[in-house]
Amino acid sequence: MKIAIYPGSFDPITFGHLDIIRRAADIFDKVIVCVMVNAEKNPMFSLDERVAFVHDAVKKWNNVEADSANILLAEYAKEQGAVAIVKGLRVMSDYEKECQMALINKRINPDLDTVFLPASERYTYLSSSIVKEMAKYGASLDEFLPMHMIADIQQRAKRVSEF
């Protein structure tokens, strides 16, 4: 069985992420969407909340599951028996950063490859940061997020912007 890990902070998961997940699910036997802890980021939602959002968003695919990890990605992939990391690329600057990470992951786990999937044209501009910024100002999020998440994100963004 070919297992891939799609890592990220997913704060929140967007249609751009879901497009990469759908495409990865067509390539691999199993895709684990892993919500990672990133010390450089200050997430709007807790780790458990983000995993729950991901779980709800991917339940329509039988070969996709949600998980979380607070260890090195290459080590997590080894624990899961994964053969690949899936990374979505929006712009060239994403490639430079992700290529460096792929080399580090390969050094830690020589059996692990990284597969880069370019963002679909309609999602190249989309990021979780942009969605959170739009939510702070009450903009419509219908084109960017699954409907089941929008009310929670708008409510949280409103609370955060009040401080």
Return the active site residues.
17, 41, 90, 128
What stretches of the chain show up as alpha helix (H) in DSSP? 15-27, 47-58, 73-80, 92-108, 128-136, 147-161
Answer yes or no: are the C-beta atoms of 128 and 28 closer than 8 Å: no
Angstrom distance (rounded) from CA 41 to CA 130: 14
**Beta-strand relationship, 30-36 and 64-69:** parallel
Q: Are 71 and 5 in contact (CB under 8 A)?
A: no
Cβ atoms of 10 and 36 closer than 8 Å: no
Nearest to 35 by CA among 24, 22, 18, 47: 47
Residue with tokens 């709800």: 56
3-state secondary structure 22-42: HHHHHHCCEEEEEEECCCCCC
